[in-house]
Structures are given as C-alpha cells and as structure tokens.
Amino acid sequence: MSKPLLKKKTYGLLAEYDSARAIYHACEQVRDAGYKVWDSHTPFAVHNLDKAMGLGPSVLPWIVFAMGMTGASLALLLQWWTSTVDYPIVIAGKPYFSWQAFVPVTFELGVLFSAFGAVFGMLGLNRLPMWYHSLFNSERFLRHTDDKFFIAIEARDPKYDPQKTRELLERTGALHIEEVED
C-alpha cells in the first residue's frame, strides 16, 4: 500500500531585501511590471509602501462609521425607551426624555462600538487570525518580523512565470530569491 506521490504545489516566489529603501524601489518595479496577486512583508509599516505597490485606500473607516452610528443610536434608543415607554418615572423634576442627561452614555457606547468596528473590522479585512500561511514554510521568512523585507509574487498571478518573474525580482536587487511551497 503505497500512497500516491503528491506533487507539491508552488505558492510563489519570495524575494528578500535588507532595507526600507530597497523594498520601496523593488515594489515600484513589480507594480509597474503589472503584477496583481503579490504582496510585500515588512517588520514595520514602511511609509508609503502601499502607494509604491499601487494599493487603494482602506475601507475600514466606513465600517467604523457604521458601527459608531449603530452604537450611539442603540444607546439613545435604549435610554429613550426605558425612560419614556417602558417605565416612565419622574426623576428630579426632569422631563421623561431629558436628552442632555443621555449624552454621556450615548457617546460612550458610540465610542465602544466604533472601537469594536475598528479592531474586528481590521482583522476581518486582513483575514486574521490565519495561523497557517504558505510563507511560514520558508525559514528565511522568519526574519520578516525582525530586519528583513520581502516581496512574494504568487503563482496564481496571471503574469506569473517561474523564469521571467525570477528575472524581474533579480533586477530589483533582491538579495535572495526562493520558491515557496503551498
């Protein structure tokens, strides 16, 4: 009983750089070569690298805005409903709907929901948590959280060609290029 030999799939090519400056110019070249399914990996957010990669703005602010409005509206609705509809009671001679007194809780819940939107929205847009990723198969990639900078061009990019893509990455001044298994 021998298992059929699984042919290992290729995730893509991983190129290594050693400075923010190098990865910045390399990204510009990969972008200009017309690749779409690729990414760069850096130990910190390199300023404007997203523009060098040709990425658009994040949609996160819209998620946060929607969440914040939801939180504030729910808070105001709760306070209005409990004090005018469900259990109307006169407190300190104030009207049932004394909205001035309801501002703090409305504000706090608006902030709370916005913060949930910001954090979980960010994780959702980034598809995190994702504890397995093909790039973690590369031993050298471990340095991406320390002092090395990487570009990964995926094999499923329509322009991907093992030979030509490798040549492009060599031209960008990569210090080391390797093929990563999926």
Partner 1 sequence: MAQYQDELDPITGRKELVDGDNVTFHDVTEAVARPIEVPSSRWWIAFIPSVMLLGVYLISIAYLLYMGTGIWGLNNPVAWGWAIVNFVFWVGIGHAGTLISAILFLFRQKWRTSINRAAEAMTIFAVICALQFPTFHTGRPWFIYWPLPLPNQMEMWPNFRSPLLWDVFAVSTYFTVSLLFWYVGLIPDLATMRDRAKTPIRRFAYGLFALGWRGSTRHWLNYEKAYMILAGLSTPLVLSVHTIVSFDFAVSQLPGWHTTIFPPYFVAGAIFSGFAMVLTLLLPLRAWFKLEHIIGIKHLENMAKIILLTGTMVGYAYGMEFFIAWYSGNPYESYAFQNRLFGDYWWAYWIMVSCNVITPQFFWIRRIRRSVVWLFILSIFVNIGMWFERFVITVTSLHHDFLPSSWDYYSPTVWDVSTLVGSFGLFFTLFCLFVRYLPTVAIGEVKSVMSIANPHYHGDGGSHGEHH
Residues of this chain, 37-66, that bind partner 1 according to CB under 8 A? 39-53, 55, 57-58, 60-61, 64
Token digits of residue 23: 């990865």
Q: Is 77 helix (H, G, I), strand (E, B) or coil?
A: helix
* Cα dihedral sign, 1-9-176-127: negative
Q: Which window, 6-14, 21-29, 156-164, 173-181, contacts partner 1 (CB under 8 A)?
A: 21-29
Q: Is the Cβ of residue 19 or residue 181 nearer to partner 1 in the bound state?
A: 19
Q: Which is nearer to partner 1, 52 or 168 (CB)?
A: 52
3-state secondary structure 100-126: HHHHHHHHHHHHHHHHHHHHHHHHHHC
The answer to whether the CB of 16 falls within 8 A of the CB of 149 is yes
Closest CB 177 distance from partner 1, rounded Å: 18
CB of 163 to partner 1, least distance (A): 26
Residues between 111 and 130 that touch partner 1 (CB under 8 A)? 111-112, 114-116, 118-119, 121-123, 125-126, 128-130
Torsion over CA of 14, 20, 21 and 22, rounded to 10 degrees? -20
Please identify, among the stretches 2-10, 18-26, 153-161, 170-178, the one whose residues bind partner 1 according to the rule CB under 8 A.
18-26
Instruction: Determine, following the binding rule CB under 8 A, whether residue 156 of this chain makes contact with partner 1.
Output: no
Give residue 119's identity as a one-letter amino acid code. Answer: V
Give the x/- contact pattern for partner 1 in 62-101, rule: CB under 8 A: --x-------------xx--xx--xx---xx-x---x--x
The distance of closest approach from Cβ of residue 121 to partner 1 in the complex, given in angstroms and rounded to an integer, is: 7
Question: Token match 């990425």: residue?
Answer: 55
Give the H/E segment covering residue 178.
strand 176-181
Cβ atoms of 68 and 114 closer than 8 Å: yes
Least distance to partner 1, CB of residue 40, Å: 5
With CB under 8 A as the rule, give the number of residues binding partner 1: 71
